[in-house]
Amino acid sequence: MADAENIVVATAEKIFADLADPQTINHDKDGRWAAPLWQALSEAGLPLAWVAEELGGAGTDLADGFAVINSAGRFALPVPLAETLLAGWLLQQGGIASPEGAMTIAPARPKDRITLNADGTLSGRVRGVPFAKSASHIAVVADGGDGVSIALVEAAGLRIDAGLSLANDPSDTVTFDKVAPVTIKRAPAGFDQDRLMLMGGVVRGLQIAGALDQLLEISVRYAGERIAFEKPIGKFQAVQHNLAKLAGESAAASAAATSAADAIARTDVFDDAIFLEAAAAKIRCAEAAEKGAAIAHQVHGAIGFTTEHILHRFALRALAWRDDFGSESHWAVALGQRVAARGADELWPLVASR
């Protein structure tokens, strides 16, 4: 397993390094980098890594896919790799084969809903769907009168109103107006929209952790190069203190996200323990994104806000990923309600078990 993981992650990181250099992308205003990058990712089987071979994918373990997503965060990857991975995972829950091409998922926010009508069509309006405009298909969780269903929908048949995230990545509003899905199947017992939100939250947490890792590296390097009062600013105690705080936030996000990812990779059951891991990870990673981005920009001063500098690519994406699949406020409330429902005597055993 370790060898397989190394091969998968090494392949992804080589592609990222060759075709997704943040500085190169930052200077390419025409988007010429996108097609070669997606082609290389597709040829390596990475977008459908979580899909079983019999359903059209590569059949890679969840742990390997999580590692690739974390690496993609370290490159602030502005393509729907994580979204296509999630869509493939969702479709596999319903035994639906994944098509080729970029995909995304809907809903992407906990309070949005898509309804399965009596005639088998889908209706609803969902916001903040990442990369919907550039996706060929959307994997959907729909609520019907008799339970939850999973569907594959062609994006061409939907009304998609373009929007942008804080990082200027597509974050679109998608309207389902009695849309007939390509395929629809009942979700397995126990599967609901919360499970998709938790899985998506862990994915975003891993991306945030990767972005924070790069923010730390960039900031430490800059502090060692920038001279003020005849010495590097990294020699000043205040700057050192800030960098130490940034390192702490990066480490906390990485620990929380990888712990939740490892827990999910080891089980098929999303019980209270997994809920605690995933919800806590999204809360902590979102908090780290806010604090870490602020520190990185403080270290860089005005230069970090310019479009020419790559700092904003990581800081803005880390901040934008905070709200996808539920903000820290949403999950803090949900986690509190879950713990309260178990009763005071069950709190410590639950926490200690993790």
- Domain locations in the chain as residue ranges: 2-186, 193-352
b/e burial code for range 269-303 (CB count within 10 A of at least 16 → b): ebeeebbbbbbbbbbbbbbbbebbbbbbbebbeee
Nearest to 84 by CA among 115, 110, 57: 57
What pLDDT, on a 0 to 100 scale, did the predictor assign at position 268? 85
Topology (CATH) of 193-352:
Butyryl-CoA Dehydrogenase, subunit A; domain 3 (1.20.140)
Q: CA-CA-CA-CA torsion for 61, 65, 66, 72, nearest 10 degrees?
A: 170
Map residue 146 onto helix, strand or coil.
coil
pTM above 0.85, yes or no: yes
**Interior CA angle at 107 toward 177 and 314, to 5°?**
130
What pLDDT, on a 0 to 100 scale, did the predictor assign at position 296? 97
Q: Return the CATH number of 2-186, one of 3.60.150.10, 2.40.37.10, 1.20.1300.10, 2.40.110.10.
A: 2.40.110.10
Residues 6+ apart with CB under 8 A from 108: 126, 127, 128, 129, 130, 200, 324, 325
What pLDDT, on a 0 to 100 scale, did the predictor assign at position 93? 95
Decide: 170 and 160 in contact? Cβ < 8 Å. Answer: no
Q: Is 113 exposed, middle or buried (0-12, 13-18, 19+ CB in 10 A)?
A: middle
What pLDDT, on a 0 to 100 scale, did the predictor assign at position 305? 85
What pLDDT, on a 0 to 100 scale, did the predictor assign at position 1? 40
Nearest to 258 by CA among 217, 213, 302, 296: 213
Write down how long the chain is.
Answer: 354
Return the structure tokens found at 71: 């690496």
Distances (CA, A) of 234 to 223, 240, 241, 250: 4, 6, 10, 18
What is the block-wise mean pLDDT of the chain (354 residues), using blocks of 10 residues? 66 96 90 94 96 92 96 96 98 96 97 96 97 97 91 96 95 97 95 96 98 98 91 92 97 98 92 94 98 96 89 96 95 93 84 74
Residue 181 preceded by cis peptide, ω within 30 = no
Decide: 102 and 131 in contact? Cβ < 8 Å. Answer: yes
Decide: 15 and 41 in contact? Cβ < 8 Å. Answer: yes
φ and ψ of 275, to 5 deg: -60, -45
